[in-house]
Structure 1
């Protein structure tokens, strides 16, 4: 991890873009460390929050698109191989599959906020041949919420950014359901606002 922190210090926003991209492409780096640290460095280097956030979202979309493509090409056989090769990942993959089967595209959005599930959901969506546009739209919302919160906290805390990962590990059982609830509320309200408009258009 020290290598990546030094890289961000040296190359700034471009290094952040690259590291966030490979994290979303399932490279073994913790987003709970990378994103707050990126926010802290952006703040210290006077990079606007509303510059680093879209950069991180684009990086996330590119990284997760790679996983989606691998899943789409490899299909169900790839998922089976992953479970056999990494038995410890079996529970996470199974949980992601169950959520995807039950909730479809919605699972891609919410799955971005759930550990383990967020790692494998792109492979599963690809293997299930989910429409790529639907996948990108759902991923966009989930990635934006996740990145906005973690980068924002790092941005605010500056040199105390490591507190984010510390408190996240301690209180994730409260933080995650609360975040999912907020996202669900936003989606439901958006749908309610949209449905009266659709009714008036049909009339």
Structure 2
């Protein structure tokens, strides 16, 4: 992880973009570290919050689309292959499948903030052949909310950015329902305005 931090220090926004993309593409990088640190570095380098947030959301969408594509073209066999190759992934994949079967597109939003789901929810959505537009919209909402919170905390705390991860783990019982509530409000608001237009 230290080498990733060094890369962000040295190359700034381009390295943040690539590392966030890799994190959303399921490379072993923790968003609870990368996103707050990216926010802290952006703050110290006088990069606007909207710029780093926009870059992070685009990176997240591109990264999660890689996983979605693998799931879509590999189908259920790819999920079984991942579970066999990485036994620790069995529980998160099964949890993601369960949530997806229960909540569909909502699960893609919520999965961004639930530790057991966030890594594999895009694979599951792809394997389930979820409509790409629905997947992208759901992902956009979830990724934007998640990145706004973590990057925003890092941007605000700056030198104390490393505390974000510990705060999240300590208060996730509050954070997850709160973020889920925000996502629901955003989705309902969008549907409400769509109804008004029609």
TM over 0.5, shorter chain? yes
Cα separation, 2, equivalents of 1:189 and 1:137: 14
Equivalent in the alignment of 2:68: 68
- Tell me: CA distance 1:127–1:55, structure 2 relative to 1, closer, same or farther (3 Å): same
1:116 Cα deviation from its structure 2 partner: 2.2
Structure 1 gaps of 5+ residues are none
TM-score under structure 1 length normalisation: 0.93
- Tell me: CA distance 1:28–1:88, structure 2 relative to 1, closer, same or farther (3 Å): same
Q: Counterparts of 1:39-78 in structure 2 under 5 Å? A: 39-78=39-78
CA contact (8 A) 2:108 2:125 kept: yes
1:191 Cα deviation from its structure 2 partner: 2.9
| Greater C-alpha radius of gyration | 1
Equivalent in the alignment of 1:180: 180
Which runs of 4 or more aligned residues in structure 1 lie more than 6 Å from their structure 2 counterparts after TM superposition?
Answer: none
TM-score under structure 2 length normalisation: 0.95
Question: How big is each residue's C-alpha offset from its partner over 1:61-80, in whole Å with a ceiling of 9 and x where there is no partner?
Answer: 11111111111111100111
Question: How big is each residue's C-alpha offset from its partner over 1:90-148, in whole Å with a ceiling of 9 and x where there is no partner?
Answer: 11111110111122122111211211201101001111111212211111111000001
Q: CA RMSD in A?
A: 1.3
Cα separation, 1, equivalents of 2:168 and 2:150: 10
